[in-house]
Amino acid sequence: MLRLAWRNLLRTPGRSLVTGGVVALVVFLSLLFLSVYGGAFDAFFQLLLERTGHLVVRVEGYKGKEDLESLAFVPPELPLPPGARVEGVLEGGALLLAHERSRAVVLTGLEPLGLARQESLLAAGRLPQAQGEALLGEALARALKVGLGDEVVAYAPGSLGLGVYAFRVVGLLDLPETHLEARTLLVPLADAQVLLAPGRVTRLEVRLPGLGLYDLKPLEEVKAALMPHLPGLVAETWLEANPAYAAILPLYDAVMGIYVGFFFLLGGLILLNALYLSLVERVREFGLLAALGLTGRRLMALVFWESLLLVGVAALGGMGAGLLVHLELADGFRLPLPGWILEQYREFGLPEVLYGRLGVKEVLLTLGYAVGTGLLAALWPGWLASRLEPVEAMRYVP
């Protein structure tokens, strides 16, 4: 049966090549899409992880509190695993004054490591190296009409600290999100504490080197070990700290499956058309086979074998090409999109260079769709072939 199916495919090489080419193209495009999609997804979540750390410690019930006094706390000693590090962050609202202009800002005090992570965002100047130095978002600097070396004054009435502090602008930040750039003021943590809340922070960021982006189980174990040492505080994983984005994660598999399924739907229709045309051209031949004793079930099996052989060979070809391209994408690539679309990507914080990701799950998904398409496309032509009456089929004139 297998040899007969293969011979039938070779009898119409042109149609078999075109149909197989379409299937190979669908498999290739599916792998390409999954690699790029996985890379973009990883980049987006990596950005969240870099911003918050693996675990975030805040005051319990912080979502319902607004005043700095309720949100700030004295950082406790944490029993962290070897290699882990914790960084304190103090964040509060302030009014930033420069000459006769003023803007409401979010003043964030960072430790030296936190400030160092902003270096890639520097559009001009340098990082703060001493007390009284600050980084401003470029949009905020334009609004206040200040530049490098100018002095600005942060005014925070009602805070627990001095309430007023002068900073010298030493760097300007080009943040991906324009709305953040217009109200971002980054200063050393010690300065922020003098201004807002001496000795306190509003969150602790715990970073665990060696823990992958989706290693959630060991992350939960570290969190559970920390909780008894956090009276009045709560620890959240980076996904829990970003609930809106965490809701996207379960949609990943669904979106991935729908897009790839759409590709294979188009390929399956072309495969169905090829199999049906092949059946119409060979009605008399099928009738002869039936007259010689081939049962309807075996005629249907013959059509299925033809479909699976064609899809199988084409899928292997498309998969080989797709994996080769993926290896190139895994080394890093820039999306070949117009500038205005890339600007929208940057607004979501996505980097310009992405790295393709393709796992066993994605490869198996593509193979599953290919086999499923081969079976579904052969179902109707196979059923028609199994229902042919030998006498009527041999009288058939196309």
For the residues 246-264, what does the mean pLDDT come to? 75
For the residues 369-383, what does the mean pLDDT come to? 84
pLDDT at 135: 95
Question: With 80 as the cut, is the pLDDT of residue 341 above it?
Answer: no
pLDDT digits (tens, 9 = 90+) for 124-154: 999 999 889 999 999 999 999 999 999 999 9
Instruction: Give the total residue count for the chain.
Output: 398
Compare 151 and 352 and report the one with higher pLDDT: 151
Q: Are strands 233-237 and 101-110 parallel, antiparallel or unpaired?
A: unpaired
- Residue 345 — very low, low, confident or very high, per pLDDT cuts 50/70/90? low
Question: With 80 as the cut, is the pLDDT of residue 230 above it?
Answer: yes
Neighbours of 353 (CB within 10 A): 12
pLDDT at 349: 62
pLDDT at 350: 67
Question: With 80 as the cut, is the pLDDT of residue 392 above it?
Answer: no
Residues 6+ apart with CB under 8 A from 346: 176, 352
- Residue 238 — very low, low, confident or very high, per pLDDT cuts 50/70/90? confident
pLDDT at 372: 87
Is residue 236 within 8 A of residue 110, CB to CB? The reply is no
Number of H helices, E strands in the chain: 15, 12
Picking from 187, 155, 183, the residue whose alpha carbon sits closest to that of residue 171 is 187
pLDDT at 383: 83
pLDDT at 261: 81
Question: What three-state secondary structure class fits 123?
Answer: strand
Q: Which amino acid is at 80?
A: L
Question: With 90 as the cut, is the pLDDT of residue 169 above it?
Answer: yes
Percentage above 90 pLDDT, the chain:
27
- Residue 398 — very low, low, confident or very high, per pLDDT cuts 50/70/90? low
pLDDT at 365: 86
Q: Structural domain boundaries of the chain?
A: 1-46+246-395, 57-237
Percentage above 70 pLDDT, the chain:
93
pLDDT digits (tens, 9 = 90+) for 179-213: 788 899 999 999 999 999 999 999 999 998 877 77
Residues 337/339/345/349 CA torsion (nearest 10 deg):
130
For the residues 275-297, what does the mean pLDDT come to? 77
Rg (CA), the chain: 31
Q: What is the mean pLDDT of the chain?
A: 84
For the residues 75-91, what does the mean pLDDT come to? 88
- pTM of the full predicted structure? 0.70
Beta bridge partners of 168: 133, 151
Question: What three-state secondary structure class fits 292?
Answer: coil
